[in-house]
Amino acid sequence: MTKIYMRWGLGLLLLCLMLSGCSSRFQNETIIISAENDTSEQMQHDLSPVQVQKIYRLPEENIDRGYWWGWDTTNSIVGAFKSAGYPEQMMLKRLAFPFEQSETLSGDMPEIKINNNQMTLSPDGLHIADIRITRTAANLNLFSIKDKTTAKLDSFSLKDQKYFQNMSWSDNSQFISYLVLDAVEKNQSSLRIYDTKANSVKSYTLNDFNNGDTLLDVRVSNDGRSVLIKLLDSSQSNKTTIVLGLLSDGHFETHYKRQIADNQMTWISNDQFAFLGRDGTLYEYDQRNGELSVVLERVTAFEFSPDKRFIAYKLQDEDIVYVGKMQGRNVLYNEPVYHGILPLNMKWSPDNTRLFIQGPKIFANPKTMPNDDSTEEPAYIIEFE
């Protein structure tokens, strides 16, 4: 009997050991599955189209304050900066990869006065449009960065207290739009659009606005048929308002109107445009069906890439610059790409591989803010994989 019990005991012991080994193997398999899940999540992150490869801090150019206009090629940016020898003037400069040393652009380029904010770089980086004002007239000039040549495009009289207000390019660099306002007879104000391909200018009356309205900004669509005008609306306690109008038979016809934040407005297509609402909501409006859609919330600044496939933006109460990929009206892969500045100036390179940002530093503690008026505005170029 004792031998029988011993055999049963040995059998039970072997069975327990076998069960214990099986249990151990199941636990190991569970850990392996978990590791595989982590790998899958890492692979999904790696597939994000927004990944920072390198960040370049741009030289300060030995100036108090400068302004980079934008990209003239995929590898270089141009801007205007104070001249050391002539502090009342600005010098036109180019900064090329690897973004360490700038060069001064020479040739028949214009002298840039400190208070001259009437120059703007075309989105393709090939030309600079400039309004030069004399006592009696205003002249629209076009400067070629490549050829260093100057061409006079348009001229209009400033008699009867007419004056120039704002100038901008269409996103495809074909049209230059600008406002000619009448200080006395507001119904005599006009919108002028120069077509660089047709080498012709057209003028449109602005009868849809009240005498007390203050027109601030203008943006024309790529087909030259629709225009966005930003203004202080006298009928709405001078609140900043955006007005969409169609250009027909020499007239600007209002089709949509909405109060906005005092910020930018951007065409997405010939029929769609984006703007910031007063609460920081980034909206898209489609004039084909009158549909207003929410793109992002709590936004303080944004910039679409030239092909509108990517967006750079900053959110309220954050010191982070994000970049996301656009899919319809949705923003995917919201990736933080830089911390610590307020991006007042953001520009995408033509091929979407680099993002220029410039603005004052954001200090978490107000006591660390500098006491003088020369607030630093560093500039960076973020390069993506």
Confirm whether 112 is domain-assigned. yes
**pLDDT higher than threshold 80 for residue 184:** no
Out of 183-187, 239-243, 334-338, pick the least confident. Answer: 183-187
Q: Hey, what are 70's tokens?
A: 């934008």
Confirm whether 100 is domain-assigned. yes
Identify whether the C-beta of residue 316 lies closer than 8 Å to the C-beta of residue 282. no
pLDDT at 31: 27
Provide the number of structural domains found in the chain: 1
Confirm whether 97 is domain-assigned. yes
**pLDDT higher than threshold 50 for residue 141:** yes
Which domain range does residue 63 map to? 58-117
What pTM does this model have? 0.82
Comparing 358 with 32, the larger pLDDT belongs to: 358
pLDDT at 363: 60
Q: Per residue in 255-286, pLDDT tens?
A: 999 999 888 899 999 999 999 999 999 999 99
Confirm whether 76 is domain-assigned. yes
Average pLDDT for residues 123-143, to the nearest whole number? Answer: 90
Out of 59-63, 67-71, 174-178, 336-340, pick the least confident. Answer: 59-63
Quickly state the pLDDT bin for 115 (edges 50, 70, 90).
low
**pLDDT higher than threshold 60 for residue 62:** no
Measured torsion, CA atoms of residues 355, 358, 360, 364, in degrees rounded to the nearest 10: 10
> By percentage, how much of the chain surpasses pLDDT 90?
57
**pLDDT higher than threshold 50 for residue 373:** no
Q: Per residue in 8-34, pLDDT tens?
A: 454 544 444 444 444 433 333 222 222
Comparing 227 with 79, the larger pLDDT belongs to: 227
Q: What are phi and psi of 136, to 5 degrees?
A: -120, -15
Average pLDDT for residues 309-330, to the nearest whole number? Answer: 95
Nearest by Cα to 271 from 223, 231, 308, 230: 223
**DSSP run (H or E) holding 59:** none
Comparing 83 with 205, the larger pLDDT belongs to: 205
Confirm whether 77 is domain-assigned. yes
The residue with tokens 């270089």 is 76
Confirm whether 265 is domain-assigned. no
What does 20-53 look like in DSSP terms, one character per residue? HHHHHHHHHHHHHHHHHHHHHHHHHHHT-S--EE
Confirm whether 314 is domain-assigned. no
Across 36-45, 139-148, 152-161, 234-243, which has the greatest mean pLDDT?
Answer: 234-243
Average pLDDT for residues 325-347, to the nearest whole number? Answer: 93
Comparing 294 with 45, the larger pLDDT belongs to: 294
Average pLDDT for residues 120-141, to the nearest whole number? Answer: 91
Confirm whether 81 is domain-assigned. yes
Q: Per residue in 239-249, pLDDT tens?
A: 999 999 999 99
